[in-house]
A = this chain, B = another copy of it.
């Protein structure tokens, strides 16, 4: 039996989740959210997350070493941002080919340092081992005030669904790279920027659930609905598709909506909030895209007056 036979990446996560037991109190959120949330002190939780970048999987020769280091940190910061928190400490496991040039390592470390400086993260340790391909695994610790914690599981029926910034750009950039074409979205793929500052503002306004866009809007919405035991309807014409994604899609003869829904690594935010937050939220770089509904309606998209089921997004083990 292979991973694709048990529902791919998401089936495998469910399978692991079912087998895992907890041995002490203090776990507020474990497997199944962007990061683990752990008891810390009276007012704060500790956030613990991990994410890896592997050569040929997440990145290609097109990446400068510096960009590899930057993205390895950025994707972890995004996971902490999605919980409403602030990152503070990182450890990095480097898997490096024996014959790698030291300049490449210097570049990767330079990228890590650049992002640690940007976010005030202390790079406090790690591990080196030899490997057939470059693999950078970052684990990160952050903090969030208890009152500001955002989970995937907090969506309520009647909530409005929002998406920050614009989406589809990173996936478009990746496809352009794979097809040896040029376009502005390539930079969005190589140097994604997560929405830490915005996420902090949102949790202060008061939202009900949040996730970062790492596997496409459709997939993130399904995660929120699954963890919140709810359904969702989104409107295709409301999704803020990036101009860079639209331009890239033209060159590739693809539908940019697919990049937004099923691509990934935009590191934007998908979140839900009560209707009464709408006025405040309008001041920020966020777009209303749909509503949370009863679970029985499923997770759907309305496009040209027709309803479609939303598939999952990028799956490491299906493509």
Q: Which residues of A contact B (CB under 8 A)?
A: 1-3, 5-6, 9, 12-13, 15-16, 19-24, 26-27, 30-31, 33, 35-36, 38, 41, 46, 48-52, 54, 56-58, 88-89, 91-93, 95-96, 98-103, 105-106, 109-110, 113, 116-117, 120-133, 135, 137, 139, 141, 316-317
| Interchain CB contact under 8 A, B93 and A51 | yes
Are A139 and B102 closer than 8 Å at their CB atoms?
no
A125 touches B19 (CB 8 A): no
Nearest Cβ on chain B to A43's Cβ, whole angstroms = 13
Name the residue among A46, A48, A139 with the largest chain B CB count within 10 angstroms. Answer: A139
Rounded to whole angstroms, the CA-CA distance of A93 and B92 in the bound complex is: 12
B113 pairs with A317, CB closer than 8 A? no
Chain A interface secondary structure, helix, strand, loop or mixed?
mixed
- Whose C-beta in chain B lies nearest to the C-beta of A112? B20
Given contacts A36-B89, A124-B30, A124-B38, contact A96 B3 (CB under 8 A): yes
Contacts of A123 in B (CB 8 A): 20, 30-31
* Complex contacts, A20 vs chain B, CB 8 Å: 109, 113, 116, 123
Closest chain B residue to A31, Cβ basis:
B125
Cβ–Cβ < 8 Å partners of A30 in chain B: 122-125
